[in-house]
Amino acid sequence: MTATNWNAKNKEKYPERGEGPQIHADKREDVVSGQDDVDDLLSSLGF
């Protein structure tokens, strides 16, 4: 079964399942979890 077939079959079965990587930002310190974190990161990089 290809990923496309799996996605098509299971979208109806699991509508709440998101697209892309699933990251638990609340359990990790190396993941930004909001716009303020993004702004701080960009600022620290000189943007």
Does residue 46 carry a pLDDT above 60?
yes
5-31 mean pLDDT? 71
- What are the structure tokens assigned to 10, written together? 């299971």
| CA distance readout (Å), 18 to 6, 24, 31, 42, 44 | 14, 13, 17, 26, 30
Please state the domain extents for the chain: 19-47
- Measure the CA–CA gap between 22 and 18, rounded to whole angstroms: 8
Of the candidates 31, 33, 7, 8, the residue with the CA atom closest to the CA atom of residue 20: 7
Where is pLDDT greater, at 6 or 37? 37
Does residue 1 carry a pLDDT above 70?
no
pTM exceeding 0.85: no
- Containing 13, the helix (H) or strand (E) segment is helix 3-13
